[in-house]
Every structure is written in structure tokens, then in C-alpha cells.
Structure 1
Amino acid sequence: MTTVLVFLDHPGASLAKSEREILSLGASLGEVVVALADEAGPAYLDGVGSYGVREYYRPETAAVSEVLVAGKAAFLAAAVRASGAGVVLLGNAYESKEIAARLGVRLEAGVITDVVALDSDLTATKSDFAGSYTVECRVTTDVSILTVKPNSFEAVEAGPPSSPREVPIPVELPLAAARVTGRVDKPVSGRPDLSEARVIVAGGRGVNGNFGPLEELADALGGAVGASRAATDAGWIEHSAQIGQTGKTVSPQLYISAGISGAIQQKAGMQTSKVIVAINKDADSPVFEIADFGIVGDLFTVLPQATDEIRKRGL
């Protein structure tokens, strides 16, 4: 049976939806083992074990997490050799893609990024050109390294909690590498993470720096707030809120686009949403081509009315 190594970076209090998806995908391919570069609590490890994972690899030195991608790539290469894994699965964030690339160089292995579907023979389907095309490809080396887009695979229901066994492994860290010199905790908003949210209210250039109406609507719906690159580049909202080709890929039940033109780069990050509602003053805006419901109007008039009505109805 093929051994599948799943790399889980930045463990939280519990497994995130994207982590459950990648563990489920790994279990469908073979026997799953996990690599954790950072410390994880008992609840998180129980969650990992509930997906049939019997052991996880940890670096013997805690310095790995302080050497950014170079250290994590070195650790992951050691974990692949220790486990004999034939498949390595990672998330699709920028950092994960760079780790995958460095790992590919270390192992002389093929790398496929942006995977949205995977056959049993490891033929991967990936999206290219901002989601305008799909490509089927397959790694021909002994080890296949794949980064998986969130919301592309179903997270199967986990089994009973089970604590996997820790396997410490030595890691030779690179001498020349960027290191973490300090950390600042991100303010807690109380809203769900973009990748986890069932409802997302996203704003673009049309908000003109004022995300207040979007935040009020998102809070009324129990959703998250996202943005286009134009809005994040303007400094109106943090870059972690960016959705699109160079941002996060989301697939909520409801996606409300306010003041976003809907250029192809934005579509790449949200076009798999179940229901898309677009609000824009320009009736010819490209976003209306993919929207299920469109409202031609001023978002500063439409959004407060929607928020008031939702609150009246107690939705």
C-alpha cells in the first residue's frame, strides 16, 4: 500500500476544514502519516488520529519553525525518507507551494500545484490561467508532490478520536536561510476564517475604503469579509482577506460581491461558490456574467437595507 505523507502547517486548536479535506484525500490514496513542523495540542492530535493516522513526524529541533520555508522543506524531506512515502500532500498557500518546490529539488521529485481533482492513478486535474482552463497531468518520478486547493475535495466524517504516536526525526537545517525574529498575534475579529466560512461578503474598488457596510452585513449573516486585490493593495483591508488568483480560493454557500468588477483574476478565487450575489453600479460589469443574482445599484444603499431586513427577520 502506498504511504501518503500529509504536511500540516500551523496547527490550531482543532483541525481546519482544509486540513480535514487533505487528510480525507490522503486516506483515499493509501496509508496516511503526518508531518508537523510546529507543536500541536492533544485535541488537534486526537483529530488527526481520527482519520486513521497512527503516527506523525516531528523534528528533533524546535528551530525548524524559525527557519521559514527552508527549514520546513528540510524537515519534510527527512520525513519522506523516514516514512518511505510515495505521495506528499500539502495545502495550496504560497508558503506551501514554496515548500513543495524546495522539497522537489531536494528529492528530485515532480511537483504539481493547484490540484482540484485527483484520480486513483495520481492523474491530477489543476486549474490554470486564473481558472479559465483545466489541465490533466501526472508526476513521473517515484515521489509525487501535490499542493491541493481548498474546497476541492470532500472532507469525510472522522472516526473516534485517537492519539497517533510521535516519531522524532533529526533535521539538518540549512546554514543560509531567513529566520523569524519576532511574532505579533493577529487581532481576533470573531468572524470565521475565509476558507471555512459558509457566507462571505467581499468588497473591491467600489467600497472606496469603507468596509463598514460589508462588515455589518457579514456579522448579521455570521460570515467572513473578503476583498479584491485592488482593495488590499490600497491598504483598506489586510492582505489576508484577498480572494482571487493571487489570494485565497473560497467556495462558500453564499458569496456576496460588492463593488467588485469581476475581472478574471477575482473569478479564479470564488467562481465555485454555490450562490453568487453581485452588487455593482455598472450594469456591464463582468461579475454579472457569473452571478446567480445581480443588483445594479450603489452598495452603500443596498447593503444597509439588506442588513436591516436580515436583522428584522432574525435570520
Structure 2
Amino acid sequence: MAGTLRVIEEKCTGCGACVSACPYGCITLVEGKATIDESCCQLCGVCISACTEGALELSEAAKEFEDKSKYKGVMVVAEQRRGKIHRITYELLWIGRKLADKLGEELTCVLIGKDVRKYAEGLVRKGADKVLVYDDERLEILREDPYADVIVDAVKAEMPSILLMGGTSFGRALAPVIAARLKTGLTADCTGLDVDEEGNLIQTRPAYGGNIMATIVCRERRPQMATVRYKVMKEAEEDPNREGLVMEMDIPSNLRDRTKVLKEVIEEGQSIEDAEIIVAGGGGIRAPEDFRLLEELANLLGGVVGASRNVVDKGWMPKSRQVGLSGKTVRPKLYIACGISGSVQHLAGMKNSEVIVAINKDPSARIFDYARFGVVGDLYEIVPEMIKILKEIKR
């Protein structure tokens, strides 16, 4: 359902309140009257609230049906940080390749940043048929305005049926902006994607706190947009003989940037999403200081400490260490669950770990159904023994 923001000229006094209120800078005064730039208006309605004269009106137009035959192929947006391709990109290429093959269409990858042209062939070897490179110093740091301008430019150039982005913090912030500009639907944090015989993207994601899995379809609008949760898809394998097309794109002339980056704060320590070994604590932990025990075990193994939701809700561990649907999805080589019963939302965030070791006093705990090795017992007895043995081995 498309909408229109209209200026009622006989009521507009040219006071400029709407100009100041618009968060997207889409309103200007022309000959004393408010004028809307429809190409950037997000239909957020903030200006309507700011107008004391009632001179702005948001109306819904009649339902418009896209000519879906104009849209072909799958497009994924590569994500890079400080000159390094984020691994979510390879997961997007894996699922994007599967969808494109099923549709019998091309997979296009959009690569954005400064001095990123050198990564294009690597993305082809990971499955892309075509890589669109937007290389400019203004794109060095991830920012919503210029990146949204570039991605919208790529979509208009290629007209993909499906547009996929990473379910990272940046992707979650950027994707809604792009969806609003393209006036299409968006499903966030998908854990499963498929296409039906009509080319509709079947999008699966958790709902109601992870208690059910919802299936969402955008039948009328294109492109069909989704962000994909990190670590739920496989990574695309490299084919050294694969060839594709690399296109160096012109930067849009109207590139906007309303954000000035004063300082970039880089998180210290290893990210839990990228850790190969995780020692996680749950409801069986009696006190916040008891996490020192898990930290000692994790340090001996060269891993990091994670936590279940109830522990984070108590304030015992930071949100960045939470594993589960409402936290991080992880896929380490080794996951040691200490005092974690195995709620649906927690299991969804770690069940794809290569090896799961569960320690719990309750023999009927659900976590044991997913563990390769299960230890029924008190973690306060078992973990110290594990630490003792590891220290002896390291001597």
C-alpha cells in the first residue's frame, strides 16, 4: 500500500516548522510554501505532528500491484569493516546462490567501501555471478545515508527480485531505510529462506519470543527484502575456477551524508559470534562472581564466556555475551553449557555448534537432547575438575 504526503497550500504559512522537523531533510520552502522531495520522503509523519496549521496530509493511495516480471535475480549486500569482509557476506552468498539456482537466475553482490575493488574476484569465487563495486573514500566508514543511496542505486540498476542483507547491527539499521525508500516489505532476522513456484520468497523467522516460527511472504511488492541472522546459514565455499563479471559503478551524484563520525569505538576482546570455543553459564550459576570459574575454564581452552538470557536479565553478564534468539547466534567448534537447561530461544542460538558439552544436575534437561557429551552433576564440582586437569596437561 503506497502512501502520499501532500501539502495543502491554502493552509501552509511557510513557517518552516516542517523543514526543521523532517529527519530526512526532504522538505524545503519554495516561494514560501513547503515542498516535498518524494524521492527521499519516508512517510514517517513527523512533519505532520510539527505542523500547527494542519497543512500536511498523509493519504494512502489505492493498492498498486508491481509488474513482477520486471524483477529478476537475487542481490546480496556485502558487508566490510575496516577493510575486511565480514563473514556474514559468505553466508549471504551461500543462501543467495541456492535461491538463484532454484529460480534459474543470476546472483549479484554489491560491494561498498574504500579500496574494496581487490575483494571483488573473491566474491565471485564464493558464488556471485556479478559484483557491483562502489569504491569511494566517502564510503570508507559504514553510515546509513551514503550506503542507502548506493544500495538503492544498485537495486534500480539491476531490478532484483530478492534483496538480502546481513542481520548484523548495521544491517538491521540500514535495511528498514532501504525498504522504505523502495516502498517494499522487509522481514528481519530470518533463519530460513526458500522460494516457491511463483518466485515468492518464503521467509522464516522466530516470533513470540521464539515459541513459534513464522512464515512471511511479500506477494505484491518487489524486491522482496530480508535480513539474515548471522551464523544460521552455511558459508559459501570457494571455487578457484569460478568466473564472473565485476562492474565498477559510478557513485550517485546526490550522495547524502548527515552523520559525522567523531570516534569509532572498537570492541575489545574476541566477539562471541566469531569464537571457536564458548563456555556458557545459565540459571545454574548461583552468583555473578561465580562466572570467574567459567572465565578460567574458557581462558585455558582459548575461548570466551557466554550466557543465557536469564543471567543477562539479572545484570550478571553484558548483553553482548548473550546466546539465543534475543542475543547472538553462535556456531563454535566447542560449546560447553554449564547449568543451562535448554530453553527454545537459547537452543536456537547455539544448536548448530560442532560439539556441545552439557553439564546439568537435572538428567531430564532439554540441553542433553542436543549435546554430544552430557554430564549429569553439579557444575561447581565438575568445572573445577576440568580446570585442574587442563592445568596439569599444560604443565
TM-score computed with the length of structure 1 as normaliser: 0.79
**Which sections of structure 1, spanning at least 5 residues, go unmatched?**
none
**Map 1:1-315 → 2, pairs under 5 A:** 2-11=72-81, 15-28=85-98, 29=100, 30-39=105-114, 44-53=119-128, 54-58=130-134, 60=136, 62=138, 65=141, 68-121=143-196, 122-140=201-219, 141-160=221-240, 164-170=246-252, 172=254, 179-187=260-268, 189=269, 191=270, 193-204=271-282, 206=285, 208-229=288-309, 231-232=311-312, 237-260=317-340, 262-280=342-360, 283=362, 288=367, 292=371, 293-299=374-380, 301-310=381-390, 312=392
Kept after mapping to 2: 8 A contact 1:59/1:170? no
Equivalent AA in structure 2 for residue 93 of structure 1: T
- The 10-residue stretch of structure 1 (143-152 or 284-293) with the greater mean CA deviation from structure 2: 284-293
- The 10-residue stretch of structure 1 (104-113 or 229-238) with the greater mean CA deviation from structure 2: 229-238
Q: Give 1:106 shift.
A: 0.7
Kept after mapping to 1: 8 A contact 2:114/2:140? no
Q: Give 1:81 shift.
A: 1.3
Distance 2:81 2:265 in 1: 17
Compared CA separation, residues 169 and 178, structure 1 to 2 (3 A)? closer
**Which sections of structure 2, spanning at least 5 residues, go unmatched?**
1-70
Distance 2:382 2:264 in 1: 40
Compared CA separation, residues 43 and 208, structure 1 to 2 (3 A)? farther
Distance 2:234 2:148 in 1: 27
Larger Rg over CA atoms: 2
Compared CA separation, residues 63 and 24, structure 1 to 2 (3 A)? closer
Distance 1:171 1:214 in 2: 53
Kept after mapping to 2: 8 A contact 1:12/1:40? no
Distance 2:93 2:370 in 1: 32
Equivalent AA in structure 2 for residue 126 of structure 1: R
Q: Give 1:61 shift.
A: 6.0
Please give the root-mean-square deviation of Cα atoms over the aligned residues, in Å. 3.5
Distance 1:173 1:40 in 2: 18
Compared CA separation, residues 72 and 230, structure 1 to 2 (3 A)? farther
Structure of greater relative contact order (alpha carbons < 8 Å, 6+ residues apart): 1
Q: Name the % identity.
A: 29
Distance 2:116 2:139 in 1: 18
Q: Secondary structure at the match of 1:168?
A: coil
How many residue pairs were aligned?
A: 307
Compared CA separation, residues 312 and 120, structure 1 to 2 (3 A)? farther
Kept after mapping to 2: 8 A contact 1:11/1:40? no
Distance 2:156 2:359 in 1: 52
Compared CA separation, residues 231 and 134, structure 1 to 2 (3 A)? closer
Distance 1:39 1:304 in 2: 49
Compared CA separation, residues 285 and 33, structure 1 to 2 (3 A)? same
Distance 2:94 2:279 in 1: 29
